[in-house]
Amino acid sequence: MSEAVLDAEAIAHKREHPARAAVRRLLHHKLFMTGLLLFGVVAGIGIAAPWITDIDPQRLSMRNKFLPPDENWVFGTDNFGRSLWSRVVWGAQLSMIIGASVVALNAVFGTLIGAAAGYFRRLDNALMRVNDALMAFPAILLAIAVTSVLGPSTLNVILALSIVYIPRTARIVRSSVIVLREMEYVQAAVAAGAGHWRILRHHILPNAMAPMIVQLSFLFAYAVLSEATLSFLGVGAVPPTPTWGNIMAEGRDFLREAPWIITIPGVMLMITVMGLNLLGDGLRDVLDPRLRIQQ
Amino acid sequence: MIGVAFRRLLSAIPVLLIVSLISFGLMRLIPGDPAAAIAGVSATPAQIEQLRRDLGLDEPIYLQLIDYYRGLAQGDLGRSLLLGTGVFAATMERLPVTIGLSLYAMVFTLLIGIASGIIAALRQNTWIDQAAMMFAMIGISVPNFFLGLLMIILFAVHLGWLPSGGYVPFSDDPVGWLRSLAMPAFSLALLQAGLLARITRSSMLEVLRQDYIRTARAKGLSQRKVVLKHALSNALIPIVTVVGIIVSLLLSGAVVTEALFSIPGMGQLLTQAVLNRDYPMVQGGLLLVTTFLVMVNITVDVLYAVLDPRVRYE
């Protein structure tokens, strides 16, 4: 590409709204689009669950146990003759619900705590010490301990994973806010008599969003993965709830006779996590070039 | 260096204090009556009362807290309800198994991660680079227990090369230890290896652009010498900072790896404790593992200051 063309492009971009420019660059980012496709397929399956399954994921049928995948049973059946297609599809829905809930709670509370710590210096020390302490625990161990205290259920898994990951999100928001607070345009707003709320809402937080959005896409992946891990260990949503981790935990005893029971949800899990990782890498390249992994 | 160590130790005090408070609070946050929840549904009221007294839950909360810290100061973290032994002793028995597994996994992590990162950087934008980064992406995306299950199907069920689980202590039979932990360590390592490969690659690319590398090339040094002596030693410095994160990830990952391969380590101890509502074990074990992790991070920071003198003056 010649320099003249680059210049012309640069000028054209100047007029574009930054959000539009970001979307346009994302649409041309191959890895981001691959990630979006992978994640989109899983999310789509999860959303469409009621329409694309006709068998209750919990219906037992001992006559049909251990059937390998064929034209009648797309994903085969498990040790209780339950349709693995139904279970995996409903499991996708549960993974999406848990991932999205953890991300939403992180977006709200991570921003609140991070903004408070970064903007109000007096709160910083106290908030960040608690934050550091929560981050010092190995993630899965803390999640296990919290679910054990609250009792195993889908809602409590969401709460536990939020407690584990909100400190990490808050730290990222805080570090952007600390930098932005010292910017000249923020000082100008202070001088013009703007209140704290207005400064945070209009001047600081919109500019602190990029790193957080990147973080949230990776967080979605961690949340889905951690939920599967918790149910695999038997401390997540209670069986026979069809979660990928539960299905894999049950399939573990039948590795020899029915390897598809663990392979299919495992591959789904991997596709989801890889899709989100690619998506996150793409978002980081476009939204937060400072953190860009060199190409 | 001593200054860095001292400052880091000081800053760890409030963190450990809050960590211990959170551990203390855990059992008391059980909704409803903690003693009844721990005793289980089949317990009689008398048994629940007995348990409440044994755990000190009948005392006012500030007395419980004073007792808790007095115990901590004496190395007494309470008694496991399930095992009947002290929490500290149970942890000290199991933690070495997990540390052994983590070190084994660390060897895989460093070998695979650093080697593929360097190769990818040296062959930037070729198919080798792309293949290495694809491999790294798979590494960070495949759940370690799924990889472990696949390895069991292949190497234990079909080929019969390795045991599908179980643990041989190193002191009994070093070769048996290596064999019994080969699959667990590898499946545990792949995530961190993928992360490390990406970090090594970008750190290496950064260094290879520096003037002193050009100078080294210009004075006629071989590629091998430039890479190994000049580039790598500088590229590895930022990698040291992620060792703490890697250890944390390994300890987290070990929980599920140990459950999968029936390895009697810390992760299995804590999972069993959780499943059996052995809360003294959960809170004490959590506190000890986290303290261990904080100590690892301090060591890493001090090491970083030794390797990179610039850090000392910050």
pLDDT (tens digit per residue) in A232-248:
988 888 888 888 988 88
- Per-residue pLDDT for A197 more than 70? yes
Distance of alpha carbon B226 from alpha carbon B233, whole angstroms? 10
Cβ atoms A235, A144 nearer than 8 A = yes
Contact of B36 with chain A, judged by CB distance below 8 Å, is answered with: no
| B252/A138 Cβ within 8 A | yes
pLDDT over 70, % of chain B? 98
Range scoring the smallest mean pLDDT among A190-204, A275-289, B49-63: B49-63
Nearest Cα neighbor of B95 from B290, B231, B294 is B290
Tell me which residue in B248, B256, B294 faces A232 most closely, judged by beta carbons: B256
Q: Searching chain A, which residue's CA lies closest to the CA of residue B139?
A: A274
* A48 phi, psi to nearest 5 deg: -80, 5
Which helix (H) or strand (E) segment is A242 a member of?
Answer: none
Question: Does residue B314 have a pLDDT over 60?
Answer: no
Q: What is the pLDDT of residues A150-160, one digit of tens each?
A: 888 889 999 99
CB contact under 8 A, B286 and A150: no
Is pLDDT above 80 for B172? yes
Interface of B with A in 100-159 (CB under 8 A): 125, 137-138, 140-143, 145-146, 149-150, 152-153, 157
Quick: pLDDT tens for B249-271: 888 888 899 988 989 999 889 88
For residue A75, what pLDDT band results from cuts at 50, 70 and 90? confident
Place A1 in a pLDDT band, splitting at 50, 70 and 90: very low
Q: What is the four-CA torsion angle of A43, A49, A52, A54, rounded to 10 degrees?
A: 160
**Interface with chain B: mutation pick from A137, A222, A254, A293, highest number of B CBs within 10 Å:** A137
Mean pLDDT of A196-209: 87
For A162-166, A254-258, A278-282, which range has the lowest pLDDT when averaged over its residues? A254-258
* Closest by Cα among B198, B195, B182 to B263: B182
pLDDT of residue A293: 46
Residue A4 has pLDDT above 60, yes or no: no
User: Per-residue confidence at B120, pLDDT binned at 50, 70, 90?
Assistant: very high
Mean local confidence (pLDDT), A42-71? 79
| Ordered domains of chain B (ranges, CATH) | 87-312 (1.10.3720.10)
Alpha-carbon distance of B21 to B26, in angstroms, equals: 9
**With contact defined as beta carbons under 8 Å apart, do B21 and B64 qualify?**
no
pLDDT band, very low/low/confident/very high, at B273 (cuts 50, 70, 90): confident
- Of the candidates A141, A149, A225, the beta carbon closest to that of B270 is on A141
Output the pLDDT for position A5: 56
Give pLDDT, residue A295.
39
Angle at A164 between CA B291 and CA B5, to 5 degrees: 30
Each residue of B251-280: b (16+ CB within 10 Å) or e? bbbbbbbbbbbebbbbbbbbbbbbebbbbb
Among candidate residues B118, B128, B136, the one with its CA nearest the CA of residue B202: B118
pLDDT band at B108 (very low <50, low <70, confident <90, very high): very high
| Mean pLDDT of chain A, nearest integer | 85
Confidence of residue B313 (pLDDT cuts 50, 70, 90): low
Judge whether residue A167 has pLDDT over 90: yes
Cβ contact, residue pair A273, B22, below 8 Å: no
Confidence of residue A226 (pLDDT cuts 50, 70, 90): very high
Residues of chain A contacting B141 with CB distance shorter than 8 Å? 221, 270, 273-274, 277
Q: Is B143 close to A144, i.e. CB distance below 8 A?
A: no
Q: For residue A44, name the pLDDT band (cuts at 50, 70, 90).
A: very high
Residue A101 has pLDDT above 90, yes or no: yes
Residue A13: the pLDDT is: 55
pLDDT in tens, A246-260: 888 888 888 888 888
Please give the pLDDT value at position A240: 82
Distance from CA of B75 to the nearest CA of A (A): 20
Of A144, A266, A278, the CB nearest to B271: A144
B311 touching A (Cβ < 8 Å): no
> How large is the average pLDDT for residues A258-275?
90
**Predicted confidence (pLDDT) per residue in B38-47, tens digit:** 777 777 888 8
Residues from chain B that touch A132, judged by Cβ atoms under 8 A, are 14-15, 18
Residues 6+ apart with CB under 8 A from B292: B95
